[in-house]
Structure 1
Amino acid sequence: MPFSYIKTHLQQRADNALLRQRQLISHSTGREITVNTQQYLNFASNDYLGFAADVIQHDTGIALGSNSSPLVTGYGIEQHQLETYLCELMGFEAAMLFNSGFSANNSVLKALFHDKKTAQESATFHDKLNHASLIDGGLHSQAAMIRFNHNDMQHLQSRLEKSSAKHKLIISEGVFSMDGDQAPLAKLKELAKQHNAWLMIDDAHGFGVFGNQGLGTCETIKPDLLVITFGKALASSGACVLASKELVDYMQQFNRDYIYSTGLSPLITNLTRQRIKQIVGDVGALRRNRLADNIDHFKKQALAHKIAVMPSMSAIQPIVLGCAEQTLEAANKLKEKGIWLTAIRPPTVPFNTARLRITLSAAHTHDDINRLVSELKAIL
């Protein structure tokens, strides 16, 4: 029977407690979520600063759709203003907007090493815990793909020393999405310089949250290629690649995702620029302080109740249970208590590392966190 494997593979996922299913959300903020008319405390959102509940006033004359590729008629004043603003803030020559962080990461790597002759002299060096978008980009580029142990600079150095590639690109995340820890950016930058390599950082979970101005983990240490996304701390959507003008010009020639996709919405672009101004202003500073206080409170409460969390100082606080079935059961029990938490299971994370991925927001109160810890203690 044609395509009979579909049913078989779905059943295998279900049997192994790995079946993914969408949930219909009618309302969601950094603190609360409503699913099928039931309200929960939300500890699964990437709305780290609690901006999702805020309304931004906007000019109703701004178009919703850009209606075309940025290389046809889809690059308007709103997109140009956001790119220019980000270049000034972050200290880069040029920028280009994408509809998602996945598209940005994936397509940049494919485009950079699209030429077979050049790719034969090229290699990408990936942290083993890099996001799927980076891994997919590496797999689909024509350069050699070399992986190093998570945040292990000695292993990376060894890999770089053994490589004879002329064009080397080191790739990591500013804040790792499933573990919540940070990359040693200064050391990565130093190794890149020593080995005549470029450094690419995906700072999706760092931008808006880290840095004195909220400009992320790369606020002071600049990689050659920086990807930031707008769907986390900014509570918007889309992404931006920041680099040299020469590299952005190159991407405009060979990045198929950019060339053949409709440009980012002018309305979303304008709202995103307003939100970034809040991030770098007093509002952002206040919310980062509140988030930091919530992270500290959670970690102290978890320690006091002997709940083992990973060594993360970010808003991402995972509790590794190992077994996918037990993790899913724990998440379902928490839902029965009115707490929404996601059970992260393979292949999103390595086998035997299934986890409850707790994400904290500036919107949470200490009472919310106390309730979470109390229910975790009872269930775990």
Structure 2
Amino acid sequence: MKKAYLLLADGTLFEGVSVGAEGASIAEIVFNTGMAGYQEVLTDPSYYGQSVCMTYPLIGNYGLNAEDFESRKCWVSGFIMREACAYPSNWRCDRSLDEYLKSEGIVGLAGIDTRRLTRILRNSGVMNGILYSEGYEPTKQQIAEMKAYKVTNAVKTVTISEPKVYPTTAETQKHRVALLDFGVKRNIRRELCARGCEVTVLPAYTKPEDILNGGYDGIMLSNGPGDPQENTEIIENLKVLIKSGMPIFGICLGHQLLALSIGAQTKKMTFGHRGVNHPVKDLAHDRTYITSQNHGYAVLGETVNPDIARVSHININDNTCEGIEHLHAPIFTVQYHPEVKPGPEDTAYLFDQFIALMDEKKGGAQ
């Protein structure tokens, strides 16, 4: 079995065994604390430009299947784990982790102390690194490129190029929803379709007038990768959509972009929130939920203008802003993932809340 390595920007070198494709990959190194859900992690566009270390020690034990993919391809730059299971056991499995990584051209690394790597990232912050298999040792130029690496043009890379319509899966259609694709996960669309919505997935840079004249009842802002402040055109488009009075629901990057569009600020976090057990408190109802999260940037709650919106949710662990609610328009956002792929189902009710806003808006217009 071939060896593989991870070289961090601070010079730390990890040696393990190669999994998946052979080669070299420069990326931002992050960790995910989920005990399951590696397939959803691999196919989540929010991980564009990042190599992911899974803290749970055994990965690949239930294999992969096409039905559970959250997007059209694998978006991680590399995959790191303590032990890769070579012989998965699950009745839904149609391929192994190694087979999938090879088919997607993703370099993988197993057999390292993932606890040590996670501790480094927690203490020093998210760090760049180069993941490479034996025979692909990095040159001085590649090491310099790794140290200077930054995730850019993320939304432009992951968004779709043409609109696509998905019919409702409920017995009757209640609403038409415009879903802006900043790096959307399929289960966001599935949750809406199951609640009587026809969903049109739109490219991230769709003009606001095309949305407002499209006959939609509500707008969904999806998750996605990268620095939210990079998306200046989208932020300006959202300012127009906010003024329309149409119901809007934002998730993750959609939450951050909506916050920026009303004048709030965002910051890059030290190591981010990536996992399926993050406690979030709903301030209005004094209730805490366990949530699925994947983000490296956060909205600064103290910068949200109290005359425009309020912070609706906070993270119990570090008090970061986990949601905002507009005070003068039917708009709310959350930083976490209520579509629960992977993760707990505690907050799926937020889709019902969005449906209720569209019901109210449509009823008032009649």
Q: TM-score, normalised by structure 2?
A: 0.32
The structure whose residues are more often helix, as a share, is 1
Greater strand proportion: 2
Q: RCO greater where, 1 or 2, for CA within 8 Å and sep 6 or more?
A: 1
Please report the TM-score for the alignment, with normalisation by the length of structure 1: 0.31
